Chain A
Amino acid sequence: AQSVTQLGSHVSVSEGALVLLRCNYSSSVPPYLFWYVQYPNQGLQLLLKYTTGATLVKGINGFEAEFKKSETSFHLTKPSAHMSDAAEYFCAVSEGAGGSYIPTFGRGTSLIVHP
């Protein structure tokens, strides 16, 4: 069984500050991991994904995430927050071979960016 825990329902940062959104997962097989962003009344847009290979994954809009197997984590970071980054962020896990591949989503973290 797979599950995702996103620590903190809200994260507030100042514009220009580091963004860190935390995600921990559990999976019985090697996971595929995703981060999605959702703007108000919109669907989800893929920021980045980890499947295999390099554990540091770069995505769109300057975001990146690092897969740490020993910590079962896939935290999302961005060096400098922009006002336009304010949105809801979802971490998701999908089990690989032998699993259903349908992603399970975390409860989401709302990123608030102050001027």
Chain B
Amino acid sequence: GAVVSQHPSRVICKSGTSVKIECRSLDFQATTMFWYRQFPKKSLMLMATSNEGSKATYEQGVEKDKFLINHASLTLSTLTVTSAHPEDSSFYICSARMGFYGYTFGSGTRLTVV
């Protein structure tokens, strides 16, 4: 089946540094990918929709200069958390649309900013 690979699974970084998270579709082409943020005991919050070859569409309240999204190929989307702060610590999950109804999810990245 369609697989989305997300790396790294865990990352710890110092406050003020930037962190890049990769999301790859392994056996299919994903023209659209999605980035979610999940707080403890909370649902998934859609951050942005990533479209191959064009600018990402950010949800209201999400800082696009802090959360940089690049979707340069049909199999790779990246999320860069710039100048990370402890409040950016969270679980980030990417997802890719498969066909008309389906979505497959990456295994998530636990970001801890110290």
Q: Which of A41, A46, A101, A108 contacts B9 (CB 8 A)?
A: A41
Contact at A102–B105, with CB atoms within 8 Å? no
Note all chain B residues with C-beta closer than 8 A to A34. Answer: 103
Q: Which of A9, A51, A90, A94 contacts B44 (CB 8 A)?
A: A90
Closest chain A residue to B106, Cβ basis: A43
> Measured between alpha carbons, how far is A106 from B45 in the docked complex, in Å?
10
A41-B110, A43-B6 given; A106·B43 CB < 8 A: yes
* Interface of chain A residues 39 through 71 with chain B (CB within 8 A): 41-46, 49, 51
Please tell me if A35 contacts chain B, counting CB pairs below 8 Å: no
Which B positions have Cβ atoms within 8 angstroms of A? Answer: 4, 6, 9-10, 34, 41-44, 46, 49, 91, 93, 95, 97, 100-108, 110
> Measured between alpha carbons, how far is A7 from B22 in the docked complex, in Å?
34
Contact at B105–A43, with CB atoms within 8 Å? yes
Note all chain A residues with C-beta closer than 8 A to B110. Answer: 41
Contact at B46–A43, with CB atoms within 8 Å? no
Q: Which among B10, B44, B95 has the highest number of chain A CB atoms within 10 Å?
A: B44
Q: Which of A43, A94, A107 contacts B42 (CB 8 A)?
A: A107
Please tell me if A105 contacts chain B, counting CB pairs below 8 Å: yes
**What are 6 A-B pairs at a CB distance below 8 A?**
A32-B101, A42-B108, A43-B105, A44-B105, A107-B43, A108-B42
Note all chain A residues with C-beta closer than 8 A to B42. Answer: 107-108
Contact at A103–B103, with CB atoms within 8 Å? yes
> Measured between alpha carbons, how far is A105 from B52 in the docked complex, in Å?
24
CB distance from B10 to the nearest CB of A (A): 8
A102-B34, A102-B49 given; A46·B104 CB < 8 A: yes
Contact at A51–B101, with CB atoms within 8 Å? yes
> Measured between alpha carbons, how far is A41 from B105 in the docked complex, in Å?
13
A51-B101, A94-B101, A103-B103 given; A44·B46 CB < 8 A: no
Note all chain B residues with C-beta closer than 8 A to A101. Answer: 97, 100-101
Closest chain A residue to B42, Cβ basis: A107
